[in-house]
């Protein structure tokens, strides 16, 4: 049955369903119906769920074309996870179904990624970044002396499997993390992913590192106990010489290091 046919019925049996999948794989379902619905091996919870009036949508080319609002659920969407950024970039689908036959009608109304999240009291609001956001992206990349690729992505093609290391954290002081057995400088501009403890699953940027000390871009959201495990991934400063000497990957360098810049306009004989 199509969504239009369902709207023509004398008695409405429609319900909204939200499916949220975090970047670490955690998936939850919420529904506007007054009881839980089981669809595609996902339980869409009714309490507290979300109300239809919690959706505000507009037709525009802006990135945040839909806003969502809902309650903080202790075992699903809680304040600690929101503040730790675990829901940033989560994929969200909004669908319409009939609660009499869940999943038979499965009409996609909106899809996108969670953008900025705000909280007030026991509730939260989230921006849904939809497909229209792609229209704001540049058609062609801008020239740059630095590499535009991210280490290990489809353009870079460097295999990161051998460039990851699990370390045991000895201590944390604000943005400084103590861990032994590091190669100095190789994790600068890389990432640290917490594997155990209250920060488990959170990924943080690494600014620089020595033989036994890492400097993070931001402090961890929660306290880190000695013995916590973390996964380090190497980084790259996106310079041509680093690409050549350390990675041997100049053929995939995505930059123009020898292209004259705007400083060429200020040059003159004898300068």
Q: CATH classification of 161-252, choosing from 2.40.110.10, 3.30.43.10, 3.50.50.60, 2.40.10.170? A: 2.40.10.170
pLDDT score for 45: 87
Residue 122: closest CA among 81, 87, 70, 82: 70
pLDDT tens digits along 70-119 = 655 546 677 777 777 788 888 888 888 998 888 888 988 878 887 777 66
Phi, psi of 174 (to 5 degrees): 60, -105
In tens, the pLDDT along 205-263 reads 999 999 999 999 999 988 999 999 999 999 999 999 999 999 999 999 999 998 887 77
How does residue 195 score in pLDDT terms, banded at 50, 70 and 90? very high
Note the pLDDT of residue 30. Answer: 86
Kindly report whether the global pTM for this prediction surpasses the value 0.75.
Answer: no
- CB-CB contact of 126 with 65 (8 Å): no
In terms of Cα–Cα distance, which of 156, 223, 228 is closest to 189?
Answer: 156
DSSP state of 118: E
Across the range 37-41, mean pLDDT stands at: 90
- What does the pLDDT read at residue 103? 87
- CB contact set of 179 (below 8 Å; sequence gap of 6+): 167, 168, 169, 170, 212, 213, 214, 230
Domain ranges of the chain: 7-134, 161-252
Segment 254-269, tens digit of pLDDT: 999 988 877 777 776 7
């Amino acid at each position: 049955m199509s969504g239009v046919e369902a709207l023509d019925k004398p008695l409405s049996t429609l319900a909204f369903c939200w499916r949220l999948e975090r970047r670490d794989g955690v998936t939850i379902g919420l529904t506007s119906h007054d009881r839980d619905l089981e669809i595609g091996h996902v339980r869409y919870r009714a309490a507290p769920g979300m109300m239809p009036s919690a959706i505000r949508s507009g037709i525009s080319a802006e990135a945040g074309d839909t806003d969502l609002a809902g309650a903080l659920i202790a075992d699903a969407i809680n304040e600690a996870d929101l503040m730790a950024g675990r829901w940033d970039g989560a994929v969200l689908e909004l669908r319409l179904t009939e609660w009499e036959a869940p999943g038979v009608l499965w009409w996609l109304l909106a899809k996108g990624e969670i953008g900025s999240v705000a909280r007030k009291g026991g509730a939260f609001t989230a921006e849904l970044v939809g497909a229209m956001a792609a229209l704001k992206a540049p058609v062609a990349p801008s020239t740059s002396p630095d590499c535009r690729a991210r280490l290990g992505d489809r353009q870079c093609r460097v295999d990161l499997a051998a460039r990851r290391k699990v370390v045991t954290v000895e201590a944390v002081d604000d943005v400084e993390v103590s861990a032994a057995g590091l190669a100095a400088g190789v994790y600068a501009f890389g990432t640290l992913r917490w594997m155990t403890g209250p920060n488990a699953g959170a990924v943080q940027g690494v600014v620089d590192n020595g033989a036994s000390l890492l400097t993070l871009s931001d402090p961890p959201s929660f306290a880190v106990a000695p013995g916590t495990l973390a996964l380090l991934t190497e980084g790259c400063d996106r310079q041509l010489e680093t690409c050549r000497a350390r990675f041997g990957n100049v053929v995939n360098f995505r930059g123009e290091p020898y292209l004259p810049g705007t400083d060429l306009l200020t040059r003159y004989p004898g300068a």
